[in-house]
Amino acid sequence: MSALTQQLFRRKGVKNYVEGEAVAEGELPRTLGLLPLMMLGIGGTVGTGIFFVLNQAVPSAGPAVIISFLLAGVVAGLTALCYAELASSVPVSGSSYSYAYATLGELPAMGVAACLMLEYGVSTAAVAVGWSEYLNALLNSLFGFRIPDFLSQAPDQGGLINLPAVILILMCMSLLIRGASESTTVNTIMVGIKLGVLTLFAVIGITGWNADNFADFTPFGVAGVTGAAGIIFFSFIGLDAVATAGGEAKNPQRNLPLAIIGALIVVTGTYFIVATVAVAAQNWTQFEGQEAGLAAILEQVTGSTWPSTLLAAGAIISIFSVTLVVLYGQTRILFTMSKDGMIPPIFHKVNPKTLTPVPNTLIVSVVVAIIAGVVPLDLLAEMTSIGTLVAFLVVSLGVIILRRRNPDLTRGFSVPFYPITPILSVLGCLWIIWNLDLVTILVFLVWTAVVLAFYFLYGRQHSVLGQERRDAR
Amino acid sequence: MTIVAGVSPTHQTTDGVALAAMLARSTDTDLLLVAVVPAPWQGKNAHLDAGYRQDLRLRAERSLADAGQTIPPEVTFTTQVRESVSVSEGLTEAATETGSPMLVLGSSTMGLLGRVALGSVTERLLHSSPVAVAVSPRGFAAAGDQRVNRVSIAYAVGPDESSLIATAAQVGGEIGAGVRLVSFAARPAAPVTSGVGLRAEDQVLDQWASDVEATTDELNRQVSAAAGDCAVEPAVIGRGETWSRALEAIDWSPGEVLVIGSSRTARAAGVFLGGTASKIARHSPVPVIVLPRPAN
């Protein structure tokens, strides 16, 4: 192997990771059974995207969007299984960046990091924009007042800045700087709120059932369905949280797949019902450009405002918690990268008073707030989807590579039906990516190129691992 | 020199007195037990409650006598009943009059056994006293010959703690106790659904711990300069998801006291317990001594 290849694919040894992550004193290993794991998957997934993806996805698939949900769900399930195997082969806790660094090498890890910034940073922006739609819907139905378009829309859509989204992110920033976290109890409550309002939507929305709305089931054919699946994939992000908690799972070989599949069934089932009710209640041509879609449909069906007010209120509370948690995730991924020397050390500076990485949180939040302020939701959602899909693609490839390279490695969990599962997972991801907007794919390629260029200019020289290897020589 | 210990005129708790006795024995000083009763109202009807005040005074004297019974013979002590409009004021006056460097108080009876619980008087003194304030954990008792054998100094990275460290280490060295630096961090666990692992916060705390360790060498030099070499023990870090876990994470010995500095916002030469210090104090299993901010 040439020196450069060696450098680009140097891997953080598994031993390294274990030593580096010595279990904190006095910390008992957490043990999660099947039900908590499943709740974790449901809590991480449900409600992030479903509150607003319909308005992006229905215009490209028509009523067949319900098939898109099933498709995206199956691919999400396959990738989550692969993720679980990779996560359980490396005894580190962290994101797919850490897993990629330990199994595939530095360059692929950097590629995954580029994807994760979309999956976390950009998705925070997307979620915040969705939140601002529901805020407007709530203000409108409570007080008959809306924040004017020029303060609540991206420039592309005739506004100046999406101010509520910016404010939401800055609020989350101040909470994170002060050291707030979301406890398991709060998470459970949030899951309850999300499932509650979605059930409310389904129960009330079904009264507006009109079978005629299904007449033109697939106006754009198969391409439309897969294209929509790409946008919808966004609403399945979070299922991988089960995999990252795998290290703490009791009997992972049994519980991880059951938890992932269980969560997937609940989530996909909920989405399927919500989507079916939505497209039955409202003709597919009316979805485009509609804001706070679920609330709008409820109002249309019932002719009164209280159900949509309730739904908007639930959405505002739960989306707020999602924004907080996802923004948190982004700061901690960058923290790890900075410790590894991939990005400047300012990202792992910890404020001794608040015990939080303050400069890191500030930088991330300001960037995300700007993105949320000026980029329209459909592009944000697609960017998030492509980032997540590519990250999962790499993870699935990683499973295959690791099986071939280290067949004897002890794995806490192995995917069933190897090699079919990872191969299907790779193909599924590719298929959905292929049907995304060309602009999305181009922006993604440019973004990845920028990140990799940064790696060649900065990370390659500053890599802590590289430094250790040089010192050892 | 004299150490002033507050004794309640009515409640029969002895933890504060036990701490005062241990401190007096360790520092070879004597003890003044003070019970504060309400001062009479001003005005022409002031004599009307004379009987009531007489009764209170009797109770206070009895309470002081009972407290005196618990003090081991080699510690010399005197008692005093003071009249004052507020208990904290009375105690502060007693300390000022005798030139005492420290006020010793017991825990509130509302607290957990074995933990420091701050009652209303203690709370007030911890935010206004001109001299150091020591608070015993609830139910604190010390063997008749127990001395302070270790002084732990709680410190944080960032603020200038050199005078706190110097003062505490000097006293620790003089009374022949071991001196160590301790630092605490409480961080809740990562949100479960964040997708970056349940231990994502550990790396942040690791970074903090290594920042802390980077400063210990220098601070330990200050400790040895003030306390003498023999007494210095290695610095320790306690961390956990809650303050109570963080404080439990390190070892404590009988005869240990935890010294905490006043907040940056305290007035010069005054005690003012800061937010973090207050959390540490409330979860301490050993007596806590809060030092005033140095006079400029």
Q: Please give the residue of chain B at the shortest CA–CA distance from A345.
A: B207
Residue numbers in A near B156 (CB within 8 A): 352-353
Please return the burial class of B285, using the count of CB atoms within 10 Å of its CB with bins 0-12, 13-18 and 19+: middle
In this prediction, residue A48 carries a pLDDT of: 74
Q: Please give the residue of chain A at the shortest CA–CA distance from B248.
A: A26
The secondary structure of residue A52, as a DSSP letter, is T
Q: Packing angle between helix A420-434 and helix A377-405, nearest 10 degrees?
A: 150
Query: CB contact, 8 Å: A247 with chain B?
Result: yes
**Cβ-nearest to B193 among A247, A325, A356:** A325
Tokens (6 digits) for A109? 């890890």
CA contacts within 13 A on the Cβ side of A320: 18
Task: Kindly report, residue by residue over B114-142, the tens digit of the pLDDT.
Answer: 999 999 999 999 999 999 999 999 999 88
Listed in sequence order, the residues at least 6 apart from A98 whose beta carbon sits closer than 8 Å to its beta carbon are A12, A17, A90, A92, A109, A336, B197
Q: How far apart are CA A246 and CA A74, in angstroms?
A: 20
Instruction: Give me the sign of the Cα torsion angle A346, A350, A354, A360.
Output: positive
How much is the pTM? Answer: 0.88
Q: Please give the residue of chain B at the shortest CA–CA distance from A28.
A: B240
Name the CA dihedral angle for A329, A330, A333, A339, rounded to a multiple of 10 degrees.
Answer: -120
Kindly give the pairing relationship between strand B288-290 and strand B132-135.
antiparallel
CB pairs A-B closer than 8 Å: 125
What stretches in chain A show pLDDT beneath 70?
A: 1, 13-30, 91-93
Mutation site for A-interface testing, chosen from B192, B203, B204, B212 by largest number of A Cβ within 10 Å: B192
Test A21 with B190 for CB contact under 8 angstroms.
no
Q: Please give the residue of chain A at the shortest CA–CA distance from B246.
A: A26
In this prediction, residue A13 carries a pLDDT of: 67
Q: How far apart are CA B96 and CA B4, in angstroms?
A: 10
Tokens (6 digits) for A276? 């079916």
Give the helix/strand (H/E) hosting B154. strand B150-154
> Residues of B238-259 as b/e, b for ≥16 C-beta within 10 angstroms?
bbbbebbbbbebbeeeebbbbb
Listed in sequence order, the residues at least 6 apart from A144 whose beta carbon sits closer than 8 Å to its beta carbon are none
**Cβ-nearest to A355 among B190, B196, B205:** B205
First to last CA, chain A: 17
To the nearest whole angstrom, how far is the Cα of B187 from the nearest Cα of chain A?
Answer: 7
Tokens (6 digits) for A296? 């709008």
In this prediction, residue A237 carries a pLDDT of: 85
Q: What is the ipTM of this complex?
A: 0.84
In this prediction, residue A1 carries a pLDDT of: 56
To the nearest whole angstrom, how far is the Cα of B200 from the nearest Cα of chain A?
Answer: 7
Mutation site for A-interface testing, chosen from B160, B194, B265 by largest number of A Cβ within 10 Å: B194
What stretches in chain B show pLDDT beneath 50?
A: none
Test A339 with B195 for CB contact under 8 angstroms.
no
Tokens (6 digits) for A395? 């993870």
Task: Kindly report, residue by residue over A405-429, the tens digit of the pLDDT.
Answer: 888 877 778 888 888 999 999 999 9
To the nearest whole angstrom, how far is the Cα of B127 from the nearest Cα of chain A?
Answer: 21
Test B192 with A335 for CB contact under 8 angstroms.
no
Q: Packing angle between helix A53-61 and helix A252-281, nearest 10 degrees?
A: 70
Tokens (6 digits) for A258? 């059951």
In this prediction, residue A412 carries a pLDDT of: 77
The secondary structure of residue B99, as a DSSP letter, is T
Task: Kindly report, residue by residue over A66-118, the tens digit of the pLDDT.
Answer: 999 999 999 999 998 898 888 887 766 678 898 888 888 999 999 999 999 99
In this prediction, residue A270 carries a pLDDT of: 93
Total count of residues recorded for chain B: 296
